[in-house]
Amino acid sequence: MKVYTQDVYNAAPEPGTLIETGVTPDERFFVRSHGEPPTIDPARFRLVVDGAVNDPMSLSLTDLEARFERVTLEAVLQCAGNRREELIRHKPIDPNELPWGITATGNGIWEGYRLKDVLDSVGLTAEAKHIAFTGLEAVYKDGEDIGYGGSIPVDKALTPDVILATHLNGAPLTADRGYPLRVIVGGYYGARSVKWLGRITAQAGPSLNYYQQRAYKLFPPEVTMESADWSEGEMLGQMLLTTAICEPIDNTTQRAGELIVAGYALSGGAPVAKVEVSVDGGQTWQQADITYHGDRWGWQLWRTKLVLPAGEHEIIARATDADGTVQPQSLDQVWNFKGYANNAWHRIQVRCH
């Protein structure tokens, strides 16, 4: 793992190891935290469900197990800052953001309880338009504990795509993953999959937490940190169609001749339909083979074989979804001063000898 910060642990795997398996092992899953994992006694843990509901509840882990069906959900968990490093090289961004490469992402089999079932049990009122989540960790900004929270629209919350997870890949969540309970929102950026979940609140508007109202907002390329009107920023939600080349690694030397190129592709909207690779600047494309096809909110792994002569080469990958949408071509189209949601064509450089 490449460690980005140690005091509050943030780390991601090396590119080649990320795609060795279709389901990402816990030890190769990136870690994104804003505060240290809280110490939680599972016997005393309670999940509070309140707000615009008919019957507020406080549920123990035993209550959840006794009352609700256990389900599994294959879903990618991806930081909204995945591939930020490319945006930083293109043009400076907010220096406080972590310079993630292409591996702040992973595909897991999550097990837990449908959020919909929990909400149905408390009865939402007509006022409930958003479902807000609050974590139990302490998060400090300017010396004040602001906590961590986020929300999703109620229409998304009432789909089977959102679960309250207790396990990853058949094992209980570790402390870094959000033990004992976290949200997993299939198809959404990880900012909304709140860890160490302590409270679910049905309410009229989005979460008022700093990370919903300020930190995780997307602005168009022409807006700068100085000119930004934070009330106008788009709250991050659905993941954008993207792909990345994990093999070979960028800026490495390879043997001339046959070269295997491989990576991942995913979408929070229409499913990925194909991945293509180009070595002539996008004039011609070669379609890759899908080697792992995940469920609706999982990812696809792909690979193809190129034949490259000696010299310098740029390899480009792009994905197309089932609606015919293709990734944006250039970083100019997606650059933003926070470095979020980079889904431009992925490009790497290799030297062949």
Looking at this protein, which amino acid is placed at residue 58?
S
Strand segments, DSSP code E, in 60-176 are 70-78, 105-114, 130-135, 140-141, 144-145, 149-153, 162-168, 171-172
Q: What is the pTM of this model?
A: 0.96
CA atoms within 13 A on the CB side of 301: 18
d(CA 178, CA 3): 19
CA proximity to 9, closest of 48, 36, 39: 36
Helix (H, G, I), strand (E, B) or coil at 175: helix
d(CA 240, CA 321): 10
Q: Which two tokens stand for residue 206?
A: 């989005």
The predicted pLDDT at position 303 comes to 98
The predicted pLDDT at position 322 comes to 97
d(CA 289, CA 304): 6
The predicted pLDDT at position 2 comes to 95
d(CA 319, CA 335): 19
User: Which residue carries 């979460």 as its tokens?
Assistant: 207
Give 165's strand partners. Answer: 112, 182
**DSSP assignment string, 285-302:** -EEPEEEEE--TBS-EEE
Helix (H, G, I), strand (E, B) or coil at 210: helix
Question: What 3 state SS string does 49-65 have?
Answer: EEECECCCEEECHHHHH
- Which strands sit side by side in the sheet containing 252-254, from one edge to the other? 252-254, 346-352, 311-321, 272-278, 286-287
Q: Is 209 exposed, middle or buried (0-12, 13-18, 19+ CB in 10 A)?
A: buried
The predicted pLDDT at position 338 comes to 97
Per-residue pLDDT of the chain (353 residues; tens, 9 = 90+): 999 999 999 999 999 899 999 999 999 999 999 999 999 999 999 999 999 999 999 999 999 999 999 999 999 999 999 999 999 999 999 999 999 999 999 999 999 999 999 999 999 999 999 999 999 999 999 889 999 999 999 999 999 999 999 999 999 999 999 999 999 999 999 999 999 999 999 999 999 999 999 999 999 999 999 999 999 999 999 999 999 999 999 999 999 999 999 999 999 999 999 999 999 999 999 999 999 999 999 999 999 999 999 999 999 999 999 999 999 999 999 999 999 999 999 999 999 99
